[in-house]
Chains A and B, each alone.
Chain A
């Protein structure tokens, strides 16, 4: 096309001529795509990403500090910590998770027992399946499975609940009523999470071991022999480790869920983004904490 060229149009239909007259030379500009924003260079994007990760870490640390500072004062006062609300969360995040935790723990117990029977059979050591199931479930998989299920079911729910409150301006309402969202929403969820995760861990571990025992019984081992092997393999310190993991994982899942909920931005997809971020961060932190636990436990029991 030549800009500024003169064109003559003749013999147009009356209707067509009317709409043709509506167009001006400026309309040609209107159809041109807008100038695309300058694309960032790779170092620039890397820098941005690092800065963002740093800011996120900073937010997590300052959130941790804020919660820790407000925790004693809130828990000490019956009026401030709304126990009925803690109970409600306990039920929805804990009691209602029992079926899924049962199913998954039993199946994982079954699977591990089945997979390990054949290799151990080569050495005639099938009876040690019981030892392995006991140790693996109590020390690792029981706490991990419970925490990951909790992150998927309840961490995401916390983020969605608080995120929706933010979108509905309920968090603003809390603030102008002079109420602190950390005190009012976060601490009761963390309290519930810390109380229920060890219980859920305990229960899940039991179900996982049960799954393994079912396989052993199927292979023809008598129950009292299996029990004897389990009692020899799993000690009180292993159970204590599982409970400690439960407490820490519970705090991580509920804390991260609440933090991501509070960080919810505006817009229709904001709550969805928060829930995703809650689950991803929770699982990441759970696995990191689990690794730290393994190292500490190794050092302590060497």
Chain B
């Protein structure tokens, strides 16, 4: 099976379960080349599980996950390693290696997968760090960086081998609004200037309105996608009341008990 030219990721009929429990079912969506695509959903709706399946950490029970021309869900050991080279991942806390400097973290993929001479690798790593605005922090240890800087460094490491896709797991989690907005700006820049496709798991409304081209929303009850499209459109026109509440940041209506007379 091949994809149309402008589709970079295609997920088909995905079903993920844990024993008897179904976590996600009937998941179908496509990500276009160069877009900022967001996966939304309430807590416990399986967003992170979906991401972990897409990046090959878990294997789904059924279905296909096409990343360009390779099916991650059915990839053998060798093919999986090739698929890993097509994308980078930024984990929620950054997941930088604590025993190495920031520069060494970014340089690590280059050390392992390229035959470039050391000074060149250092320059490439430094240029990635400058791209995310961390040129001056190259020789620091990850523990000396703030949360936002750690995530930037993690993005630089994910970009080290110039992948065409970046997966980000909750980039705004634990960040103040200013830092979070800065990170959004960086994502926008990278998408526009370098043509990187972003797949982002989040529930930060400001980022969704700010930078998402398209979103899908997962539902906790039906364990599948309940909304897909542009956030501004969904905000006004979503059929599902929960989706509308999500986009307008309204609480679930509280079911108040009917008034009762004391008899």
Contacts from A to B (Cβ < 8 Å): 6, 8-9, 17, 20-22, 24, 79, 85, 88, 165, 168-170, 172-173, 175-179
- B residues in contact with A169, CB < 8 Å: 91-93, 95
Number of A-B contacts (CB under 8 A): 59
| 16 contacts across the A-B interface (CB closer than 8 A) | A20-B262, A22-B257, A165-B98, A168-B93, A169-B93, A169-B95, A170-B96, A172-B57, A172-B89, A173-B91, A176-B55, A177-B84, A177-B108, A178-B84, A179-B108, A179-B112
A79 near B111: Cβ-Cβ < 8 Å? yes
A176 near B93: Cβ-Cβ < 8 Å? no
Report how far A178 CA is from B55 CA in the complex, Å.
Answer: 11
Report how far A251 CA is from B230 CA in the complex, Å.
Answer: 56
- B residues in contact with A165, CB < 8 Å: 97-98
Q: Return the chain B residue nearest A170 by Cβ.
A: B95
User: In whole Å, how far is B51's beta carbon from the nearest beta carbon of chain A?
Assistant: 11
Instruction: Encode B81-120 as 1/0 by CB contact (under 8 A) with A.
Output: 1001101110111011111000000001101110000000
Q: Return the chain A residue nearest B82 by Cβ.
A: A178
- A residues in contact with B57, CB < 8 Å: 172, 175-176
B263 near A8: Cβ-Cβ < 8 Å? yes
Report how far A8 CA is from B263 CA in the complex, Å.
Answer: 6
Q: Is B241 an interface residue when CB atoms closer than 8 A count as contact?
A: no
Report how far A9 CA is from B263 CA in the complex, Å.
Answer: 7
Q: Return the chain A residue nearest B85 by Cβ.
A: A178
| Residue in B84, B97, B260, B262 whose beta carbon sits within 8 Å of that of A176 in the complex | B84
Report how far A170 CA is from B99 CA in the complex, Å.
Answer: 11
B95 near A173: Cβ-Cβ < 8 Å? yes
Q: Return the chain A residue nearest B109 by Cβ.
A: A177
| Residue in B91, B259, B263 whose beta carbon sits within 8 Å of that of A6 in the complex | B263
Q: Is B42 an interface residue when CB atoms closer than 8 A count as contact?
A: no
Report how far A15 CA is from B84 CA in the complex, Å.
Answer: 64
A21 near B260: Cβ-Cβ < 8 Å? yes
User: In whole Å, how far is B214's beta carbon from the nearest beta carbon of chain A?
Assistant: 24
User: In whole Å, how far is A89's beta carbon from the nearest beta carbon of chain B?
Assistant: 10
Instruction: Encode B218-240 as 1/0 by CB contact (under 8 A) with A.
Output: 00000000000000000000000
Report how far A21 CA is from B259 CA in the complex, Å.
Answer: 8
Report how far A20 CA is from B259 CA in the complex, Å.
Answer: 12
- A residues in contact with B95, CB < 8 Å: 168-170, 172-173
- B residues in contact with A88, CB < 8 Å: 99
Most chain B beta-carbon neighbours within 10 Å: one of A6, A24, A177? A177
- B residues in contact with A17, CB < 8 Å: 262
Q: Return the chain A residue nearest B81 by Cβ.
A: A178
Q: Is B70 an interface residue when CB atoms closer than 8 A count as contact?
A: no
Name the 8 nearest CB pairs between A and B, nearest first: A173-B95, A169-B91, A169-B95, A178-B84, A170-B95, A176-B89, A178-B81, A24-B257
User: In whole Å, how far is B176's beta carbon from the nearest beta carbon of chain A?
Assistant: 21
- A residues in contact with B157, CB < 8 Å: 177
- B residues in contact with A172, CB < 8 Å: 52, 57, 89, 91, 95
Which residues in window 67-86 of B have CB below 8 A to A?
Answer: 81, 84-85
